[in-house]
Amino acid sequence: MTLSRRQAKATAGFTLVEIVVTVLIMGLMLTGITRLLTTVRTSRDLVHNIQEQQLAGPAILDLVERDLRGIFTTSMPLKSHLRVMDNVRMGLDADRIDFVATTDSLIWFGENDRQVRSDICEVGYCLRPNPDDSDFLEMYRREGFGVDEDVYEGGSYVLVHDHITGFNVEVFSEDGPDADPLEEWGMNSSDVETIGLPASLRISLEIELQPRLLRETQGHMRQKQKFLYTRVIRLPESLRLAQKDIPRYAIPSPQSEAAAGEEGSEEEGDMEVGGAGGRNARGGGARTAPDGKVITGTTMDRDEGGGGGGGGGGD
């Protein structure tokens, strides 16, 4: 009886070999799990970078092209059609481009008790140093409600991207393989060769992707995170007009009043602007605005002493 108890005590517990084998198996399992988690994290970062690479750069250029495709020039002087400024910030290309577009404004503006958007707005793209990281530039889209006297100033600014390493705009005044690019456009209103609309623009955008891993861990791989996107945008030839050929807005007169204005002009034997009516009357037909533009409009309220129709009142 005593011998059996001693044998049972001798065979109880784990041997050293069993413990070593168990630790080895657990180590192999932990190693496999760690490698699996590392692979999953790397794949996640790769998918993140590829997604940003495919979306960020092309999306920015799509936004710029969308605005340029809707460029607006009607009733505007040549100097207000397009302006491109050659800028450098912290050793990086940071050009600026401004114009007027017919694309609906992306920003809502408050008017009385409601929010409205404009069908025609001032648009621009500019860059500034990133305040959080001196290695990068921030791109902003400028948008002004409607059009005022200075189409290149004012408006609201919205952040587009904060990891820009270069934004370059080259202007081509003519088509053809031998055309030389210009770095600036519309800066000198007296130079008729560089105002109005050019033939095309070549826009280059360089951005650095934002990896999920810390930059300090990237090492030599950091340079491989930069991507350059280039797009050529050709402007319609129908918009590249001389100042005298630019379309202007006009408000037509009612047919009866316009006819009366023509009769009054024929009877008086001259081409005097103002249509029908005498000195105290204001008839239909064309009128000259204070800025020199010829505007056709409806008949204004006549003074009591003014004549009507084509005869017109005298003194």
pLDDT of residue 294 exceeding 50: no
Distance from C-alpha of 180 to C-alpha of 285, rounded to nearest angstrom: 47
Same structural domain, 214 and 284: no
| pLDDT tens readout for residues 125-183 | 999 999 988 889 999 999 988 888 888 988 889 999 988 999 999 999 888 888 899 99
Q: Mean per-residue pLDDT for 62-78?
A: 90
| pLDDT tens readout for residues 14-41 | 788 888 888 999 999 999 999 999 888 8
Instruction: Classify residue 264: in a domain, yes or no.
Output: yes
Which structure tokens are listed for 215? 């930059």
Instruction: Classify residue 41: in a domain, yes or no.
Output: no
Same structural domain, 123 and 267: no
Instruction: Classify residue 19: in a domain, yes or no.
Output: no
Same structural domain, 94 and 164: yes
Distance from C-alpha of 20 to C-alpha of 304, rounded to nearest angstrom: 116
Q: How many domains does the chain have?
A: 2
**Domain end residue (candidates: 187, 203, 238):** 238
Same structural domain, 228 and 263: no
Same structural domain, 177 and 292: no
pLDDT at 226: 82
Distance from C-alpha of 304 to C-alpha of 147, rounded to nearest angstrom: 38
- Quote the domain boundaries for residue 193: 56-238
Tell me which of 9 and 219 has the higher pLDDT.
Answer: 9
Burial level of 191, CB count in 10 A (0-12/13-18/19+)? exposed
Same structural domain, 171 and 214: yes
Distance from C-alpha of 220 to C-alpha of 197, rounded to nearest angstrom: 43
Instruction: Classify residue 46: in a domain, yes or no.
Output: no
Helix%, strand%, coil% for the chain, nearest 5: 30, 25, 40
Distance from C-alpha of 234 to C-alpha of 137, rounded to nearest angstrom: 27
Same structural domain, 304 and 192: no
Distance from C-alpha of 173 to C-alpha of 180, rounded to nearest angstrom: 8
pLDDT band for 299, please (50, 70, 90 cuts): very low
**Domain end residue (candidates: 191, 210, 238):** 238
Same structural domain, 133 and 255: no
**Domain end residue (candidates: 217, 238, 259):** 238
Of the ranges 75-79, 114-118, 187-191, 231-235, the best mean pLDDT one:
231-235
